[in-house]
Amino acid sequence: MRSLFVSKFRYYLVFFSVCFAFCSLGGRLIWLQVIEADRFSTVAEVARKNFSTIKARRGDIVDAKGNLLATTRSVVEVGVDPHSVVEDDQLKWKTLSTYLGITEEEILKAVNKKTRPSLSDPKVSRDVRWVKLKEEVDEGTYRKIQELRIKGVYGNFKHSRLYPNRNLASHVLGFVNKEDVAAMGVERFADYYLKGQDGWRESEKDGRRREMPQHRSLEVKANDGLNVELSIDRRIQDIVEEELSSMVEEFDPLSASIIVSDPKSGYILALANAPDFNPNLFNQGELAHQRNRALSDLYEPGSTFKIVAVGGAMNEGLITPTDIIDCSKSTMRRGNRNLRLPSDHHPLGKISVSKVVQKSSNRGAARLGILLGSQRLYQYCQAFGFGQKTDFGIGGERKGTLHPPSRWDGLTITRLPIGHAVSVTPMQIHASMACVANDGVLMKPQFISRVFDHAGKTIVPFDPKPVRKVISTRVARELSTMLKSVVTKEGTARRAEIEGFSVAGKTGTTQKLIDGKYSNRHHVASFVGYFPASEPKVVITVVVDEPKMKKGLLGYGGVVAAPAFQRVGKGIISYWGLKPESKNQMVASRAEFKERAL
C-alpha cells in the first residue's frame, strides 16, 4: 500500500491559520460583547430610539373686535433624499416643479447633491440624506405631491406664522422670523404668552428609519400658546393707513406717523407709519421700513409743545386765561439780564393768554416760560412725559432729549417753551395732549387689552394705568377751551375743523437742523388734537417729516397735518356713528372762549 506524503509545514500552516482565525473572531466578539458592551449598546439604542419635538401652536393676535390680525397655520417643508431617488421618477419632476413653484434644474441640483465635506475633516465626504426643495407648502399641495409617489421626496410638518392683512398694523404686530424667534412688535412683547410650551415624543424606528407608534415609550403633549387681544381697532387702523397713503402720494414726505387713542384709558386705537412693510415678507423689504417711527424718530415739536408752558403757568396760579401778555417787545428782563425773545410770524401786540394759544405766539409762550422759571419749567416738561420713555412695550422706543437746567444756555429758557431745544417722539407728544383731554391725568399708552385662552376666558387683563396728575382738572379744561379756539377761522388750524363737533388741538411746524443750522426748506409738520372737546373720545396725532409742497409754499402743520386729522376724524365719526353736538353746546363753547379772552 502506497503511503501519501504530507508536508508538516503545510499542515501546521493550515492548522495555525484556522486557529488564528477563530481566536481573532473570538477576541473580536469578546471586545464587542464584553469589554465595549456598554458603549455599543448605547450606540444601538440611539440608532433605534426616535426622539422628536411636538411643536406648540403659537397663539392668535386679534383686534378689539376679534378680527384676526396674526395666526398660525400648518405647513410642510418639502425635501429630497438624493440616495433614494430612482431614474424612473424623472418623468414626474416637471409636475413636482409646478407644485413647488421651482424649476426642474433646482430639483436636479438637489438630487445630485449626494455628499458634502465633513465639518471635522474637509477631506472626508459624508452622505447627504436631506436637501430642502421648498420651505413652506400648504397641506393640500403636499397631498398632491404624495400622490406622485416619487421615491425620496417627503416633507416635515411645521407651524408657520401668517398675517392675513399683509401690511396692516405691521409696526404694531411685528413678526416671527424664520428661526421661529419673535423679532419685534406685539410678537416680541407678548412672546411669553403667545409661544406656548413644546412637547416631545420618544419611540422606536425600524430599519427604514420609520417611526413604530406601537413602541412609543413616552409622550408629553404640547401646550398651545394663549391669544392676545389688542386695543387696536382694525377699521380705524384702515382709515389711518388709507390717509397715510394719500399723504404720501400728495406730499412725498420722508416719513409720516398717525396715532389714534382713547384719552380716558390710554388704549391705542390705531398706530401707523409710512413707509411700512409686509410681515409675511419681512426679509424682502428694506430694514429701515421696519422702524416704528412713532416711537423711535425724534424731532423738535415746535408749537405743539406750548401746552407745557401755558398749562404749567396756569397750574401754578401765575396767570389766568384773561391775563394780558405783551408780545410786542423783543426782550424781557430776567434778574439783571435782558433775554432775547423769539419772533412771531405776525405782530400781535398785547393779547390775552387765550390769544397766545390761539395765535400760537412764540413770544407769549417764551414769556410764560420765563415766568415759570427754569426749574419749574423743567419739572412740568418731565411731568408731561418728556425726556423719558412712555414704556409702550414695543422695542426701539427712545426717550428723546430734555436737558436739565444746569446744562441750559442763555437762550434755552426762551426757546424750550416754543418746542425748541428739546426732541420728542410722536408718542410722547400724543400722550401729553391726551393728558389735557383727560382732565390733566397722564395715562400710560397701551396697545394690549387682554390675554385670553381658547375658550375666550381672560387670563391676564391689561387695565388702564394712570401715571400721574400733571395739572388740575380746572386748568386742563381752561386749556382745552383755549385749544378749541385754535381750530377756528381765527386760529392756526382751521383746516382741522369738523362740522358739528368742537375740536381742540395745536399745530406745529418745526425747521429741521441741517448741518448745524435751521433750514428754511426742511420742515416737520404736525397737528395734535381731540374731539368732542367738551367730552373727548379720541385723540389724533399726525406728524409728517419733510412734506414736499408746491413751489413757494411751506409745509406748515395747519396745511399738511390738520387736514389729515380732519379726514381721519370724519372717518371715525362715521364708523362710530357719533351724533353731532347740539347747537347750544357749540354756541356755549364759543361764548365761553370769548368771555375768557376779553
pLDDT 10s digits, 448-473: 999 999 999 999 999 999 999 999 99
pLDDT confidence tier of residue 390, bands split at 50, 70 and 90? very high
Residues 411 and 558 in one domain: yes
Cβ atoms of 295 and 346 closer than 8 Å: no
Residues 304 and 225 in one domain: no
| 315 φ, ψ (degrees, to nearest 5) | -70, -30
Residues 589 and 496 in one domain: yes
Residues 458 and 474 in one domain: yes
Question: What CA–CA distance (Å, rounded) separates 201 from 178?
Answer: 24
Q: How many CB atoms lie within 10 A of CB 446?
A: 22
Among 24-28, 113-117, 128-132, 327-331, top mean pLDDT goes to 327-331
- How big is the CA angle at 218 (ends 217 and 219), to the nearest 5 degrees? 135
Task: Retrieve residue 467's grid coordinates.
Answer: 401715571
The set of residues, in sequence order, having a beta carbon less than 8 Å from that of 502 and lying 6+ positions away, is: 484, 531, 532, 533, 534, 581, 585, 586, 589
Task: Retrieve residue 161's grid coordinates.
Answer: 406664522
Q: Does the residue 24 lie in any domain?
A: no
Residues 451 and 359 in one domain: yes
Boundary of a domain, candidates 202, 230, 258: 230
Domain membership of residue 209 as a residue range: 49-76+157-230
Is pLDDT of 440 > 90? yes
Is pLDDT of 326 > 60? yes
Q: Does the residue 322 lie in any domain?
A: yes
Return the exposure string of 14-43: e unless at least 16 CB atoms fall within 10 Å of the residue's CB, then b: eeeeeeeeeeeeeeeeeeeeeeeeeeeeee
- Reported in sequence order, the residue ranges of 378-464 that DSSP labels E, i.e. its strands, are 441-443, 448-452, 458-461
Please state the domain count of the chain: 2
Boundary of a domain, candidates 230, 258, 292: 230
Is pLDDT of 3 > 60? no
Residues 224 and 319 in one domain: no
Residues 221 and 367 in one domain: no
Strand partners, 529: 505, 540
Q: Does the residue 358 lie in any domain?
A: yes
Task: Retrieve residue 40's grid coordinates.
Answer: 455599543
- The CATH number of the domain holding residue 360 is 3.40.710.10
Q: Does the residue 83 lie in any domain?
A: no
* pLDDT mean over 156-176: 91
Task: Retrieve residue 297's grid coordinates.
Answer: 424718530
Residues 265 and 177 in one domain: no
Q: Specify the pLDDT at position 212.
A: 52
* pLDDT mean over 526-544: 96
* pLDDT mean over 6-11: 72
Cβ atoms of 416 and 368 closer than 8 Å: no
* Total number of residues shown for the chain: 598
Q: Does the residue 171 lie in any domain?
A: yes
Q: Does the residue 429 lie in any domain?
A: yes
Q: Specify the pLDDT at position 178.
A: 84
* Nearest in space to 259 (alpha carbons), one of 306, 304, 310, 307: 304
- The CATH number of the domain holding residue 213 is 3.90.1310.10
**Lowest-pLDDT choice from 75-89, 282-296, 403-417:** 75-89
Q: What is the DSSP letter of 436?
A: H
The pTM assigned to this predicted structure is 0.83
* pLDDT mean over 527-534: 96
Residues 358 and 376 in one domain: yes
pLDDT 10s digits, 271-283: 999 999 999 999 8
pLDDT 10s digits, 88-137: 888 888 998 898 899 988 888 888 888 888 766 676 677 777 888 888 88
- Coil, strand, or helix at residue 527? strand
Mean pLDDT over all residues of the chain? Answer: 88
Q: Does the residue 415 lie in any domain?
A: yes
- DSSP-assigned letters across all residues of 266-323: -BEEEEEEES---GGGTTTS-GGGGS-HHHH--B--GGGGHHHHHHHHHHTTS--TT-
How far, in Å, are 155, 214, 302, 587 from residue 359 at the CA level? 68, 82, 14, 21
The set of residues, in sequence order, having a beta carbon less than 8 Å from that of 321 and lying 6+ positions away, is: 314, 352, 353, 354, 478, 481, 482, 596, 597
Q: Does the residue 97 lie in any domain?
A: no
Residues 161 and 304 in one domain: no
3-state secondary structure 533-551: CCCCCEEEEEEEECCCCCC
Residues 208 and 261 in one domain: no
How far, in Å, are 354, 481, 530, 579 from residue 591 at the CA level? 13, 10, 20, 22
pLDDT confidence tier of residue 593, bands split at 50, 70 and 90? very low
Residues 293 and 374 in one domain: yes
Boundary of a domain, candidates 199, 230, 261: 230
* Nearest in space to 554 (alpha carbons), one of 510, 593, 592: 510
